[in-house]
Amino acid sequence: MIRLDNISLQLNRKTLLQDISTSFIPGEHTVILGPNGAGKSTLLRVAALGIQPTGGTISYPSVDISSQAQLSKVRTFLTQQSMFNSELTVRELVFMGRYPYYHRTPDATDIEIVENALQRFSIKHLSEQKLQFLSGGELQRTHLARVYAQLFTDEQISSIRNKFLFMDEPVNNLDIKHQEELITLATELTENGVGVVSVLHDINMALHTADKLILLKKGLLAGELNPTEITENILEDLYELPFEQTGDLIFSPKRIRSKIYQIF
Ligand SMILES: Nc1ncnc2c1ncn2[C@@H]1O[C@H](COP(=O)(O)OP(=O)(O)OP(=O)(O)O)[C@@H](O)[C@H]1O
């Protein structure tokens, strides 16, 4: 389990996160929801140990978190803006997910894991294509394949147990079919003992896939609850927009529709 206790972060005199305590558990999918600028990406980055908080503590039991090499083998992180050399090919980028595991040359296990990842994200036919020539969705799937390849210690699915996958807006640029495949994958990973933590903007997708929701507003924890506990009022408070429930775990904003009716 990863524990965050009283986490705060100030940057350039601005408070980005304030007194946040929560935990992430292997085998659970936690989704962070909240309006733009709420601090979702920042919280994800702090929890993945990409930025040091200015207050509070983070614990990753049984890992020396000061060792980047050890850390890369227990948690993997898909950021929104990945800065990678666009001259790399798709296969080379996916191989980067194996860097924590090999020294100079990859072995047969690394190669098998990369081939599986290329297949899993339907990018095998693009293996030799440079990143600069990929579409937005193809590039996103290549980064997903890289972090997926990083989860495996060896080719056995059991080797991903108790690891953590952090994903910032993972469905960005994905068409509906690939979005569904990603949701299926997240479920498969949690069933195999991975702790998945995602930032999503699609409330209904979050409600249907999360085991736990973390609601963030203005850098503060506005709630931590199960999807079945979400109500119209909770969403209205979070986004400052009226919502209506239109089905089982399905909510839509109210105002936009009624405004259109008022105009016409
Ligand atoms: N280095 C920085 N210095 C000052 N403020 C920053 C810095 N980095 C981010 N911020 C601010 O922190 C706030 C939280 O940013 P963050 O990216 O975590 O929000 P978010 O909830 O992920 O938003 P979005 O939904 O728009 O992606 C924003 O107001 C942002 O402008």
CA 115, CA 203: separation in Å to the nearest integer? 33
Mean pLDDT of 136-165: 97
**Among the atoms of ligand 1, which is closest to the Cα of residue 219?**
14
Nearest atom within ligand 1 for CA of residue 34: 21
More confident residue, 66 or 201: 201
- Provide the percentage of residues in the chain whose pLDDT is more than 90: 88
Q: Evaluate whether 20 touches 56 at the Cβ level (below 8 Å).
A: yes
Amino acid at site 149: A
- Please write the tens of the pLDDT for every residue from 178-233: 999 999 999 999 999 999 999 999 999 999 999 999 999 999 999 999 999 999 99
Tokens of 101: 């595991």
| Residue with CA nearest ligand 1 atom 24 | 36
- CA-nearest of 182, 222, 225 to 202 is 182
What's the angle, vertex CA 95, arms to CA 125 and CA 209, rounded to 5? 80
Whether 31 shows a pLDDT value over 60: the answer reads yes
Q: How far apart are CA 251 and CA 256, in angstroms?
A: 13
The closest residue, in CA terms, to atom 27 on ligand 1 is 36
* Interface TM-score (ipTM) > 0.95: yes
Ranges of H-type helices in 130-175 = 136-151
Question: Is the confidence at residue 160, as pLDDT, over 90?
Answer: yes
Architecture of 2-230 per CATH? 3-Layer(aba) Sandwich (3.40)
- Ligand 1 atom with minimal separation from the 44 CA: 18
What does pLDDT average to over the chain?
94
**129 falls in which pLDDT band (50, 70, 90)?**
very high
36 Cα: distance to centroid of ligand 1 (angstroms): 8
pLDDT at 147 over 90: yes
Distance 20 CA to ligand 1 centre (A): 16
Q: How many CB atoms lie within 10 A of CB 202?
A: 14
Pairwise CA distance, residues 106 & 206, whole Å: 37
- For residue 40, report the distance from its CA to the centre of ligand 1, in Å: 8
Ligand 1 pocket list (CB less than 6 A): 11-12, 14, 16, 34, 36-42
Burial of 103 (0-12, 13-18, 19+ CB in 10 A): exposed
The pLDDT of residue 152: 98
Give ranges for CATH 3.40.50.300 in the chain. 2-230
Give 34-66 as a 3 state SS string.
Answer: CCCCCCHHHHHHHHCCCCCCCEEEEECCCCCCC
